[in-house]
Structure 1
Amino acid sequence: MKKTVLLTIFILTIMGCKSQNTVSLFNGKDLTGWHIDVPKMDSIPDARNPFIVRNGMLVSLGTPQGHVITDKVYRDFRLQIEYRFAGEPGNCGALVFASTPRSLYKMFPKSIEVQMMHENAGDFWCIVEDITVDNMLARRGPKEEWGITEGKKRRILNLTDDSENPVGEWNYMTIECLNSEVKVWLNGDLVNHGYNATASEGQIALQAEGSEVEFRKVALTPISTLSDSEPE
C-alpha cells in the first residue's frame, strides 16, 4: 500500500511539472509578443487601435475591425481563453493555424476560426483553410456549397446549445490543436471537434469584429506528441 501511495505521489508530481510548461501569451501590461493588423489603420493615420490593455485585461474594442496576432507560430497546444462581453452581446473569435494575412475579404488571415459570437460560440469558420467534422451535411449545409473563400459555406455549426454563460459573466474556452485535429470546450462542454484540417501550425489571433470583448487570460500549454513510454 505504501509503495502504491508513493508511486501515485511521484506520478502526480511529474504531471505537475509538465503543467508548468503553460505560458501566458498576454502579460497583463502591454501587447508584447503580438502585432496588430487592422486594414483601416493603413489609410487613416488617426484611426484608433482597437486593441488596448485596460485594468490588466486585453480588450478588443470591436472597431475598426481587424486582428491582434501572435508573433510566434505554434503547433500542438492547448489554448485557454477567458473572455466576456462586458456590455452588449456581439461578435468575436479566436483564430488558430493563422498564416497569410488578409486572405479573405482583405481582412481575415488564412486560418480556422473558433467562433465566440454570442449564442454561436464554438462554431468553426473556414478561412482559406478547411476542416472536417462528423455529420458535415447537417452542420455545414449542401456539399456543393462548401468552400473556404468568399461566398461559400464556411461555417460549421457547434455541437451544443446553451454552453455560454450570460452576458457579463466570464466564459472559459479551451482550444486543443494536435496535428490536424482541433477540439473546443466551452465552460466544460465539448462544443466542437474537427479533424483533417488543411493546416497543423500557425499563429494565433483574436478579432475586433464589431463588439467590445475583454480577455483576462490567454495561456498556451504545449502538447508533447510522445507517450511517456517512448524514449526522449
Structure 2
Amino acid sequence: MKKNISIFICLLIAGTIACNSQPQTQQLFNGENLDGWHMDVPPMDEDSTLRDPFVVRDGMLVSLGEPRGHLITDEVYSDYRLEVEYRFPGEPGNCGVLVHASTPRALYDMFPQSIEVQMMHEHAGDFWCIVEDISVPNMVERRGPREEWGITEGEKRRILNLTDGSEKPLGEWNTMVIEAHDDKIKVWVNGDLVNYGEEATASEGQIAVQAEGAEVEFRKLDLTPISALSEDGAW
C-alpha cells in the first residue's frame, strides 16, 4: 500500500513538473505600458517634439497613425501563433503586423526588413514583402507578372489575400491569427483562412505594429509557441 502511494505521488509530481515546463501563451502587450517594446519613428529624428505615435489608452495599445513608424518587440520569436484583436475606431485606414522583422529602416528608410501581414481596411491578410520574400499558390494571379516581382523599392511586393468580406464593419473588433512555423506563414481573419505562404526567406525575428496614417486600437497581442498548441492547432 505504501509502495502504491509512493508511486502515485511520484507520478503526480512528474506530471506537475511537465505541465509547469510546458510553454504558455505570452501577452506581448500587458494592458498597462509598452514594456517589452521600443519605437522606431524616423520623423522624430528631426523633430523630437513630435508626439509618440504609440500610446496606452483605456487598457488598449493605440497606434495614432502619425508620425509614421513602428513599435517593435525587444525579443526575437519563431514558431508561434500570434492572436491580435484590433479595430479602426474612426476613419478606415492602413496598418499592419510585421513578422520576422530584423534590420530597421531597410525599405524607404522607414520599414524594417520583414514580412508584413496587412491590416488595411478591406485588405486584411495581404502579404507585403519587405526585403524578405515568401511564395504562395497562384503567385502570378495574386502578385502580377513574374518579371516584376521583388522585395525592394519599386517592385511588386504585394501578394493579395484569398478572400473578401472577412473583416467586421468599421468600429467592431477583428481577430487576426498569424501562425509562423519554419518557413511557412498562415493568416486567419475572424476565423477565415485568408493567406498561406511558404519558402519564406526568414523564419524568426521581432514582431512589429505600424503607425501608418490611421488610428488603430489593439486589445490583444498574445503569442503562443507552436509547441504549446494542441494537436488540432499544431502544424
Shared fold by TM > 0.5?
A: yes
User: Could you tell me how far apart the structure 2 residues matched to 1:50 and 1:17 are?
Assistant: 38
Structure whose alpha-carbon radius of gyration is higher: 2
Describe the superposition over 1:72-111 as per-residue Cα deviations: whole angstroms up to 9, x where unpaired.
Answer: 0000000000000000110000000000000000000000
2:223 is the alignment partner of 1:224: no
Q: In the alignment, what sits opposite 1:52?
A: 55
Q: In the alignment, what sits opposite 2:89?
A: 86
Q: In the alignment, what sits opposite 2:213?
A: 210
User: Could you tell me how far apart the structure 1 residues matched to 2:166 and 2:21 are?
Assistant: 29
User: Could you tell me how far apart the structure 2 residues matched to 1:78 and 1:171 are?
Assistant: 16
RMSD over aligned Cα atoms: 2.0
User: Could you tell me how far apart the structure 2 residues matched to 1:130 and 1:70 are?
Assistant: 21
Q: In the alignment, what sits opposite 2:13?
A: none
Q: Tell me, yes or no, if the aligned pair for 2:23 and 2:225 is still in contact at 8 Å.
A: no
Structure 1 residues without counterparts, runs of 5 or longer: 1-15
Please list, as runs of the form range in 1=range in 2, the aligned pairs for 1:1-232 lying within 5 A after superposition.
21-224=24-227
TM superposition shift of 1:17: 7.6
User: Could you tell me how far apart the structure 1 residues matched to 2:181 and 2:191 are?
Assistant: 19
User: Could you tell me how far apart the structure 1 residues matched to 2:29 and 2:45 are?
Assistant: 25
SS at match of 1:114: strand
Q: Tell me, yes or no, if the aligned pair for 1:93 and 1:116 is still in contact at 8 Å.
A: yes
Go from structure 1 to structure 2 and tell me whether the alpha carbon gap of 1:47 and 1:166 turns closer, same or farther (over 3 Å shift).
Answer: same
Q: Tell me, yes or no, if the aligned pair for 1:84 and 1:215 is still in contact at 8 Å.
A: yes
Figure out how many residues of one structure are paired with residues of the other and give that number.
214
Q: Tell me, yes or no, if the aligned pair for 2:23 and 2:227 is still in contact at 8 Å.
A: no
User: Could you tell me how far apart the structure 1 residues matched to 2:108 and 2:126 are?
Assistant: 20
TM superposition shift of 1:40: 0.7
Q: Tell me, yes or no, if the aligned pair for 1:19 and 1:221 is still in contact at 8 Å.
A: no
TM superposition shift of 1:224: 2.1
TM superposition shift of 1:25: 0.3
TM superposition shift of 1:43: 1.0
Structure 2 residues without counterparts, runs of 5 or longer: 1-18
Task: Quote the sequence identity (%).
Answer: 70
Q: In the alignment, what sits opposite 1:12?
A: none
User: Could you tell me how far apart the structure 1 residues matched to 2:188 and 2:21 are?
Assistant: 21
Describe the superposition over 1:201-223 as per-residue Cα deviations: whole angstroms up to 9, x where unpaired.
Answer: 00000000000000000000011
Superposition misfits of 4+ residues, deviation over 4 angstroms: 16-20, 225-228
Q: Residue type matched to 1:118 in 2?
A: H
Go from structure 1 to structure 2 and tell me whether the alpha carbon gap of 1:20 and 1:55 turns closer, same or farther (over 3 Å shift).
Answer: farther
Q: Residue type matched to 1:132 in 2?
A: S
